[in-house]
Structure 1
């Protein structure tokens, strides 16, 4: 039954995504607000379908920590779920993502309209400078910049290496950092069928000031808070059908 529900969700997602992508493209000549609106509408629909079809719910804490102005959001990247969640609930924002995503039919075409910071991960030095320069520009316009410091998806229960770009960008731009922890990878795993019923926990941490601080120090504080929050949830099983991952590092 779980596999059947996952297949139904994938079918529904496949039918809805081209429609919303075309709406984003058609609204683009009138400014970025149209694409952002339809991206948020698509994300909210996907979360509703995930709840109705797959039984995936979510609980959120820490909304009171969101600043009123621009900031850098440093988050875990465990699955596609969090990339769906952010457009549904956060104020206008941009992702730092790998440029290959923009070539995905419909999804990538729509994402391109949202002004992401698309980097070539093979060119690390250039990518780092791109994040800093384009990130400052986006923040100066009042946008939130979302960074996955581990650089790639890391399975639930594992810890990747945290790159310092988020903290350095925030210090250079004079904006705070907000850490975000979640356990989406526990229920929404890699592959079309890797979806399991349950509740995803998501927690926004306290605002980390960057005034008079080093970027690496801020980044380390964000990392410590995120990993401590995940450790607090570590009693949660990976899902009812599989053994929980042992917490450890990911070698990349």
Structure 2
């Protein structure tokens, strides 16, 4: 039954994604906010389809901690789930992503349509590219999502937190909004199967950059995240040994 339900999910994904990717291309001449609003309806549909086919739900604690103004969302990254769900939990947002992703068919077209911040990690100007594009996006009211670990990590095995999120928050003088989760215990990295259950998401109090170094901000972010992760690990079917 688990395999059948996942097959249904992937059939819906394959039927829905190509038309939305073509729509993303057609929307490129339109204003940034409008095309973001239209293209991200794909996310609403896919998360609803995920609940219906795979029985995967989520709950959020700490919604009262979301700042009132655009901020940098510093989120754990364990699966593909949070790239969709954050769009429903927080106000409209863009991601920081590596430039190479823009060339992936369908997925890259969507990134272009939603005005993702694309950086060349090999360039010495990568940090400045992120700040310049981030400032541009925030002028249009967008929040910015960064995965501080840089890549997807298994539950209970966090990676080294990089200082990019802290430096961006400092440069733009906006809060860091920390997010911890356990999505990898239900949707493992690179797995075909998504397991039924309830993903837990915790949003922490904003971390203000004023008067703090990037190193101190990153340490505060990492300490909070690891403390939350310790409480979240072990709730899903794919929990670590």
What is the CA distance between 1:192 and its match in structure 2?
A: 5.1
| In structure 2, distance between residues paired with 1:31 and 1:54 | 35
Where in structure 2 are the equivalents of 1:126-165 lying within 5 Å?
126-165=125-164
Show CA shifts across 1:202-225 (max 9, x none). 111101111222122112111111
Aligned partner of 2:109 in structure 1 is 109
The answer to whether the 8 Å contact 1:18/1:107 transfers is: no
Note the 1:34-183 alignment, pairs <5 A. 34-121=34-121, 123=122, 125-183=124-182
Equivalent in the alignment of 1:245: 240
Matches within 5 A, 1:146-225: 146-191=145-190, 193-225=192-224
Which consecutive aligned stretches of 4+ in structure 1 deviate over 6 angstroms post-superposition?
none
Whole-Å Cα distance in 2 between the matches of residues 234 and 191 of structure 1? 19
Deviates more, 1:34-43 or 1:172-181: 34-43
Q: Let me know the Cα RMSD of the aligned residues.
A: 1.8
| Separation of aligned partners in 2, 1:108 and 1:13 | 16
Which residue in 2 is equivalent to 1:227? 226
Residue of structure 2 equivalent to 1:250: none
Aligned pair count reads: 241
CA distance in 1, matches of 2:123, 2:62: 33
- Distance in 1 (alpha carbons) for counterparts of 2:151 and 2:119: 12
Distance in 1 between residues matched to 2:154 and 2:216, nearest whole Å: 25
In the alignment, structure 2 segments of 5+ residues that lack a partner are: none
Query: Given that residues 117 and 134 in structure 1 are in contact (C-alpha distance below 8 angstroms), is that contact kept between their aligned partners in structure 2?
Result: yes
More displaced 10-residue stretch of structure 1: 154-163 or 33-42? 33-42
Question: 1: CA distance between counterparts of 2:73 and 2:150?
Answer: 14
- Shift, 1:200, TM fit: 0.5
Q: CA deviation at 1:21?
A: 2.2
